[in-house]
């Protein structure tokens, strides 16, 4: 990569730039302090994204910095997309596409991208595959068996946790060894070592490796570090309070040539300690970067005074924090509404009812959100919102790409790309069932012990040609298990062949599905869920097609890029849509909504049961602070007197965080089954109250006869009128839906915008000649539905066929 003219020293800002006109003086200062280390302490809602985006624009416009020289790190892909969009807006459309040229990335995406380039330095080939946590667990369990440890699930989880912690701290197994202080840890480190070499053998990396691997490259090869640092002349980091030591070290490497590191963060919003993040990074920033300048953003532009006060009531009880006070011009505001339901279902029903009511008062669905502490709580809300015909989208939870059927299909592709990848290989070797059971798998593993399972499979498939030990061992397979293994081998080879030919990815997948009768298998194997799963597989094909069409990559690179994306991006990462957002509090970080419902505010839910020491409680408190400060206009806090946990009802107590809020700011919805008169302010009172509580849950003051308020009734009635306008939940209605059922049907002719292609005969590398039945889109990337005699109907992108 050659950059001829680096701006080595960007000029100090001269006077005012019109770019900064829309910022307040402190924001403007933060955006224009361009050189050297900078710490921006940005309270909730103080416009930090605004500052960062303007800063990027300022660098480009006023300081003559090339977009390619700017690196901005965020925590989620969602945040990346938003930042890019906003930079684009500020810069305006001048045809230079500057926003696109800035590197805006998550740490992990950057890691994946750079590791593809430097894979060799780590003994990986660039075909390496990324393991998600399910794959990781599969590998760990297998290794535990080999290492004959107790094959205990919780032990496996513990080991995964250990490995993850090591990687978060940037420690390789060798480095971890030096830290060992007892024999148990010694043992764990040994396992870490084992795990790491298994990953390398399989030519795979896990999530932590995306960072640790990159770190290793930078540590071992100063030249690479230097050139990267020179390329990224200006580095910015969002949510700096949530960086872990590995990420921090990475930043140091990347900025060592210039020290131009601007970090934005808020210690009150640090919520990823459990993931290895340490506030030490933000608290000690000035120590590591002695000449760092510090800017504090304390004016809140988001919430009402009431909401801000409530948030402050909660957070001020934390002891370990940089003192700061947020203020706003936005005085007053509605009181925070509290509602206590009799159980979790009623809680959800209440929220649904209120959403309808707000909607009737013309709050758009997209401006409302429901937050909860754990993903499991989301289901109740899904049910009730669906029932109330409210459009919603669930963010987080099981990601699309983590679903079984999706992982299955992708596993075939991953094996085709990298057959040494044993986790994926074992995942689909007998899926759909081919008669290859545990015994056969064990034999293959023994046969391939010195090489790989794949080579043992190859040996079986190639029959008596080879006389190696592997072959002898593997040759014990006979009958159904042998034909099964051979069949699997052939499937993978066929996929590889199609990929080698440069066949379109979506076609490869369709062929694969046909070849292994995957959809039939889904149907016979688990009829109940088959419909959903079939649709998901169809959506996967759609996503692949879409990706391929938009991608400017060629050949196998498309597949690699798609697979990387599937491991790094949540399918729900896209923003926008007129639907109510359902998500965990963690997921809400960085977002804002007019109306926020904060549900399940009960002790042992929020704060979580698993909170043990005071530091963890502090973190829960910060989490509550984050939740509250997401709300612009109104906040509704709900809880339930009893809740189903482990499938049975258990009594609850109100969250101490609600008790911490000055009752002055609360308005108890009298439709509640409890009057909340018990809500007394003060953290100190909590422990005391808890002692007082009798086992029969007398904390809650039963008062079930209270009628709904007139306001609530009014809203409920109003809402009835509006219900019909909203269709059944269709979160991604504008996405093209791949109609799987159409695969077996007769093609239906169509003439929409077909460039005159309709009915023409085409020739395709694999399928031969066929007739175009349907055209959607125009140009080389249009999707053609083609009837191939002998093969049947296929959808193919225009550029892959020749029109005869």
Partner DNA sequence: CTTTGAACTCTTTTT
Partner DNA sequence: GAGTTCAAAG
Contact positions toward DNA, by CB under 7 A?
Answer: 75-77, 106-109, 133, 141, 151, 153-154, 157, 207, 274-275, 373-376, 396, 399, 430, 433-440, 480-481, 484, 525, 568, 570, 583-584, 586-587, 608-611, 616, 644-648
- Lookup: tokens for 269: 């919003």
| Spatial separation of the C-alpha atoms in residues 667 and 370, rounded to whole Å | 19
- To DNA, the closest distance from the beta carbon of 597 in angstroms equals 16
Would you say 566 and 601 are in contact if contact means Cβ atoms under 8 Å apart?
Answer: no
| Spatial separation of the C-alpha atoms in residues 131 and 205, rounded to whole Å | 6
| Spatial separation of the C-alpha atoms in residues 374 and 602, rounded to whole Å | 12
| Spatial separation of the C-alpha atoms in residues 619 and 272, rounded to whole Å | 8
238 included as an active-site residue: yes
Catalytic position from the list 630, 633, 715, 795: 630
Alpha helix positions (H), 448-526: 453-461, 469-474, 479-500, 505-516, 518-525
Rank residues 430 and 536 by Cβ distance to DNA and give the closer one: 430
Rank residues 373 and 630 by Cβ distance to DNA and give the closer one: 373
Beta strand 666-668 with 336-343: parallel, antiparallel or unpaired? parallel
Rank residues 300 and 481 by Cβ distance to DNA and give the closer one: 481
Would you say 727 and 391 are in contact if contact means Cβ atoms under 8 Å apart?
Answer: yes
∠ CA 295-299-304, nearest 5°, is 155
Beta strand 103-106 with 783-788: parallel, antiparallel or unpaired? unpaired
Q: What is the dihedral of CA 275, 208, 243, 562, to 10 degrees?
A: -110
- To DNA, the closest distance from the beta carbon of 525 in angstroms equals 6
- Lookup: tokens for 734: 């504008």
∠ CA 167-220-564, nearest 5°, is 50
Catalytic position from the list 27, 29, 48, 53: 48
- To DNA, the closest distance from the beta carbon of 743 in angstroms equals 23
Could you tell me which residues come within 8 angstroms of residue 11 by beta carbon, excluding any fewer than 6 positions away?
63, 64
- To DNA, the closest distance from the beta carbon of 112 in angstroms equals 10
Beta strand 648-651 with 70-74: parallel, antiparallel or unpaired? unpaired
Handedness of CA 54, 57, 58, 59 (dihedral sign): positive
Beta strand 70-74 with 103-106: parallel, antiparallel or unpaired? parallel
239 included as an active-site residue: yes
* Number of other residues whose CB lies within 10 A of the CB of residue 461: 18
Would you say 292 and 269 are in contact if contact means Cβ atoms under 8 Å apart?
Answer: no
- To DNA, the closest distance from the beta carbon of 7 in angstroms equals 30
269 included as an active-site residue: yes
- To DNA, the closest distance from the beta carbon of 73 in angstroms equals 10
Rank residues 645 and 765 by Cβ distance to DNA and give the closer one: 645
Rank residues 648 and 694 by Cβ distance to DNA and give the closer one: 648
| Spatial separation of the C-alpha atoms in residues 134 and 140, rounded to whole Å | 10
Catalytic position from the list 62, 238, 267, 634: 238
Which backbone phi and psi does 393 adopt, to 5 degrees? -140, 140
Bridge partner list, 394: 582
636, exposed or middle or buried, with CB in 10 Å at 0-12, 13-18, 19+?
buried
- To DNA, the closest distance from the beta carbon of 126 in angstroms equals 21
3-state secondary structure of 501: coil
- To DNA, the closest distance from the beta carbon of 343 in angstroms equals 12
Rank residues 65 and 270 by Cβ distance to DNA and give the closer one: 270
| Spatial separation of the C-alpha atoms in residues 14 and 17, rounded to whole Å | 8
Rank residues 257 and 573 by Cβ distance to DNA and give the closer one: 573
- To DNA, the closest distance from the beta carbon of 376 in angstroms equals 4
607: cis peptide before it, omega within 30°?
yes
Would you say 504 and 786 are in contact if contact means Cβ atoms under 8 Å apart?
Answer: no
Rank residues 382 and 703 by Cβ distance to DNA and give the closer one: 382
Rank residues 67 and 607 by Cβ distance to DNA and give the closer one: 607
Would you say 539 and 737 are in contact if contact means Cβ atoms under 8 Å apart?
Answer: yes
- To DNA, the closest distance from the beta carbon of 424 in angstroms equals 16
Q: Report DSSP letters for 442-460, one per residue.
A: HHHHHHTSSS-HHHHHHHH
- To DNA, the closest distance from the beta carbon of 172 in angstroms equals 18
Rank residues 64 and 437 by Cβ distance to DNA and give the closer one: 437
305 included as an active-site residue: no
Rank residues 279 and 782 by Cβ distance to DNA and give the closer one: 279
Catalytic position from the list 239, 347, 602, 603: 239
| Spatial separation of the C-alpha atoms in residues 543 and 760, rounded to whole Å | 27
Catalytic position from the list 53, 269, 377, 570: 269
Could you tell me which residues come within 8 angstroms of residue 726 by beta carbon, excluding any fewer than 6 positions away?
389, 390, 391
- The residues carrying an active-site annotation are 48-49, 238-239, 269, 630
């Amino acid at each position: 990569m050659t950059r001829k003219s680096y701006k080595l020293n960007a000029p100090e800002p001269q006077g005012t730039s019109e770019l900064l006109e829309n910022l307040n003086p402190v924001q403007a200062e933060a955006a224009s302090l361009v050189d050297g280390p900078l710490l921006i302490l940005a309270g909730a809602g103080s416009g930090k994204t605004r500052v960062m985006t303007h800063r990027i624009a300022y660098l480009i416009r006023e300081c003559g910095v090339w977009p390619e020289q700017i690196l901005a790190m965020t925590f989620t892909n969602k945040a990346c997309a938003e930042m890019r969009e906003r930079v684009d807006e500020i810069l305006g459309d001048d045809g230079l596409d500057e926003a696109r040229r800035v590197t805006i990335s998550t740490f992990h995406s950057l890691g994946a991208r750079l590791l593809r380039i430097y894979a060799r330095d780590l003994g990986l080939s660039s075909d390496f595959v990324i393991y998600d946590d399910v794959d990781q667990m599969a590998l760990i369990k297998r290794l535990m068996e080999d290492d004959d440890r107790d094959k205990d699930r919780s032990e496996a989880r513990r080991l995964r946790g250990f490995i993850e912690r090591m990687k978060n701290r940037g420690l390789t197994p060798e480095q971890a060894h030096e830290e060992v202080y007892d024999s148990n840890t010694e043992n764990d480190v040994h396992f870490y070592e084992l795990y790491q070499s298994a990953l390398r053998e399989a030519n795979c990396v896990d999530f932590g490796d995306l960072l640790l691997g990159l770190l290793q490259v930078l540590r071992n090869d100063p030249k690479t570090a230097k050139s990267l640092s020179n390329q990224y002349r200006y580095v910015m980091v969002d949510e700096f309070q949530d960086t872990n030591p590995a990420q921090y070290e990475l930043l140091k490497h990347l900025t060592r040539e210039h020290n131009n590191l601007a970090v934005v963060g808020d210690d009150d919003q640090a919520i990823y300690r459990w993931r290895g993040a340490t506030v030490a990074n933000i608290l000690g920033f000035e120590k590591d970067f002695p000449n760092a300048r510090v800017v504090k953003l304390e004016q809140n532009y988001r919430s009402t005074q009431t909401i801000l006060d409530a948030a402050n009531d909660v957070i001020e009880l934390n002891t370990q924090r940089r003192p700061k006070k947020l203020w706003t011009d936005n005085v007053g505001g509605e009181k925070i509404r509290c509602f206590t339901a009799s159980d979790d279902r009623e809680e959800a029903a209440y929220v649904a009812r209120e959403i309808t009511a707000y909607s009737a008062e013309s709050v758009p669905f997209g401006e409302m959100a429901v937050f909860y502490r754990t993903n499991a709580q989301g289901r109740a809300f899904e049910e009730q919102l669906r029932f109330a015909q409210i459009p919603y989208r669930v963010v987080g939870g099981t990601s699309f790409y983590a679903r079984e059927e999706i992982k299955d299909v992708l596993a075939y592709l991953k094996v085709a790309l990298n057959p040494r990848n044993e986790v994926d290989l074992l995942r689909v070797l007998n899926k759909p069932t081919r008669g290859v059971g545990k015994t056969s798998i064990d034999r293959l593993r023994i046969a391939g012990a010195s090489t790989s399972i794949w080579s043992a499979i190859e040996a079986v498939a190639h029959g008596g040609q080879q006389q190696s030990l592997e072959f002898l061992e593997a040759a014990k397979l006979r009958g159904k298990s042998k034909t099964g293994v051979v069949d699997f081998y052939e499937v993978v080879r066929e996929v590889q062949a199609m990929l080698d030919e440069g066949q379109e990815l979506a076609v490869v997948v369709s062929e694969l599905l046909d070849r292994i009768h995957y959809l039939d298998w889904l149907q016979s194997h688990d009829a109940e869920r088959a419909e959903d799963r079939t649709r998901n597989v169809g959506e996967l094909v759609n996503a692949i097609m879409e990706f391929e069409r938009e991608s400017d990559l060629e050949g196998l690179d498309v597949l690699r890029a798609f697979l990387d994306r599937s491991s790094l991006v949540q399918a729900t990462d896209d923003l926008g849509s007129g639907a109510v957002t359902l998500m965990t509090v963690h997921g809400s970080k960085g977002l804002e909504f007019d109306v926020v419902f904060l549900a399940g505010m009960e002790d042992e839910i929020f704060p979580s049961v698993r909170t043990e020491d005071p530091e963890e409680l502090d973190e829960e408190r910060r989490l509550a602070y984050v939740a509250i400060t997401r709300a612009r206009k109104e906040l509704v806090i709900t809880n339930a007197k009893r809740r189903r946990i482990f499938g049975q009802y258990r009594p609850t107590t109100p969250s101490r965080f609600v008790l911490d809020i000055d009752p002055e700011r609360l308005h108890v919805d009298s439709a509640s089954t409890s009057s909340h008169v018990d809500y007394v302010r003060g953290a100190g009172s909590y422990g005391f109250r808890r002692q007082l509580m009798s086992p029969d849950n007398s904390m809650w003051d039963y008062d079930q006869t209270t009628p709904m308020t007139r306001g609530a009734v009014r809203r409920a009635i109003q809402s009835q009128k509006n219900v019909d306008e909203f269709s059944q939940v269709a979160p991604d209605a504008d996405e093209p839906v791949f109609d799987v059922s159409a695969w077996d049907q007769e093609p239906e002719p169509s003439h929409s915008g077909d460039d005159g292609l309709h009915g023409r005969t085409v020739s395709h590398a694999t399928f031969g000649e066929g007739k175009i039945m349907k055209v959607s889109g125009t140009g080389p990337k249009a999707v053609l539905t083609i009837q191939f005699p002998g093969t049947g109907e296929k959808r193919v992108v225009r550029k892959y066929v020749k029109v005869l």
